[in-house]
Amino acid sequence: MLTRFAPAPTGYLHLGHVVNAIHVWDAATARDGRVLLRVEDHDRQRCRPEYEAAILEDLAWLGFVADGPPVRQSERDAVYRKALQPLIDRELVYACACSRTDVSGSGRRAPFDSGNSRVAQGRPGSGPGSGPGAEHRYPGTCRDKGLPLDDGVGWRVRIEPGVERFFDELRGPQEQDPAAQCGDLLVRDRLGNWTYQFAVTVDDHAQKITDVIRGVDLLASTGRQIRLARLLGRTTMPRFAHHGLVMKSPTEKLSKSDGDTGVRGLRQAGWSAEAVLNRARSVTLFP
Ligand code: GLU
C-alpha cells in the first residue's frame, strides 16, 4: 500500500489538512503501507516557499513522518512534458486561447448531481452548491481551431463522452462523466503552469500510488483523473477514499469569524500537538 499527503503551499497548514493527514497516516499504519509527501506547488503564482517551509515544520511538529524527502511538482516540468508527449502525438491535445472569464461566461453549468457523486463541482470549488466556485464546462470553443501549442495559450486534452465508474472506499460506487462535468481538460494554463488535474494524475501514476485518500471536495475530480490516467497509459487505478471536510455546516465553509483553524495560530496560542490532533479527530466532518 502506498499513499501520499499532497498539500499545496498556497497557505498555512489548517485543521482540514490535519484531518486529511490523520486519514492518510492511519490508513498506511493499518495496512503496513508507506506515505509519500508531495508538495503540489504547480501554480507558481499562488505558491510560496515560506508556506512550504511552514507546512513541513507544522507536519513534523504534529508527528507526521513521510517515507523519503518531499517531491515538488515545480521541479517536475520535464516529467509532465514527457507524459503529455504521446497525447500530443495522438492529436489529443490542442491549444486554447480562452480566458477563464470566456469559459465561465459561455460554458454551460455542469449538473451538480451527476451520477452518485454527492458533490459535483470541480477544482477549485467553493463547497457544495452553485456559488462562485461552481464548475463550468468548457464548451469546446478552440477544439477545432488548430492553434499552435505555444506558450501564452492553454493546452487542453480532448475528453470524449463516457462514464467513469469507481468505488469510493467511504462512499460506495460512483459514476461520473467528465465530458459532461468539465469538457476538454486544461492540462497547462496560459501562464505555463501545469494544472492540478494533470500534475496529480501524472504523479499518482509515476509514483505508483495505490491509495488516494483526500477530502470530498475532490470527489468530482476523480472521474476525470481516471480518464486522464488511462489516456496516459495507466492500467490499474488506485483505490480512492474521500472523507468529509471541516465545515461550519453541510453547506457553509468555515470563515475567519468561526475561529482560527490554522495550526500556526493554535501553536502560538499554546496548544500542544496532541491537543491539535485530538481536535482534528473529534471535529464533525461534512458532508
Ligand atoms: N494538493 C491538493 C490540495 O491541497 C490535494 C490533491 C489530492 O490529494 O489529490 O488540496
Domains, the chain, with CATH or none: 2-286 (3.40.50.620)
Residue from 40, 52, 119 whose mutation best tests the ligand 1 pocket (most atoms within 8 A of CB): 40
The pLDDT confidence band at residue 269, using thresholds 50, 70 and 90, is very high
Q: Whose CA is nearest to atom 5 of ligand 1?
A: 6
The pLDDT confidence band at residue 109, using thresholds 50, 70 and 90, is low
Q: Give per-residue pLDDT as tens, 22-72.
A: 999 999 999 999 999 999 999 999 999 999 999 999 999 999 999 999 999
* pTM above threshold 0.85: yes
Cα-based torsion angle of the residue sequence 126, 102, 186, 170 in order, rounded to the nearest 10 degrees: 20
Is pLDDT at 159 greater than 70 in this prediction?
yes
CA 223, CA 146: separation in Å to the nearest integer?
A: 27
In this predicted structure, which of 56-70, 98-112, 147-161 has the lowest mean pLDDT?
Answer: 98-112
For residue 61, report the distance from its CA to the centre of ligand 1, in Å. Answer: 21
The pLDDT confidence band at residue 104, using thresholds 50, 70 and 90, is confident
48: left (phi over 0), alpha (psi -120 to 50) or beta: beta
In this predicted structure, which of 6-15, 33-42, 132-141, 142-151 has the lowest mean pLDDT?
Answer: 132-141
pLDDT value of position 106: 62
Single-letter residue type at 167:
F
pLDDT value of position 134: 66
pLDDT value of position 257: 72
Q: Give per-residue pLDDT as tens, 208-246.
A: 999 999 999 999 999 999 999 999 999 999 999 999 999
* Ligand 1 pocket residue status of 6, Cβ below 6 Å: yes
229: left (phi over 0), alpha (psi -120 to 50) or beta: alpha
Residue from 5, 204, 218 whose mutation best tests the ligand 1 pocket (most atoms within 8 A of CB): 218
For residue 159, report the distance from its CA to the centre of ligand 1, in Å. Answer: 22
Please give the DSSP secondary-structure letter assigned to residue 124.
Answer: S
For residue 178, report the distance from its CA to the centre of ligand 1, in Å. Answer: 19
The pLDDT confidence band at residue 121, using thresholds 50, 70 and 90, is very low
> CA separation (Å) from 167 to 117, 174, 226?
11, 6, 12
- Burial class for 141, CB neighbours closer than 10 Å (0-12, 13-18, 19+): middle
For residue 211, report the distance from its CA to the centre of ligand 1, in Å. Answer: 13
pLDDT value of position 252: 86
For residue 223, report the distance from its CA to the centre of ligand 1, in Å. Answer: 15
User: Cα Rg for the chain, rounded, in angstroms?
Assistant: 19
The pLDDT confidence band at residue 176, using thresholds 50, 70 and 90, is very high
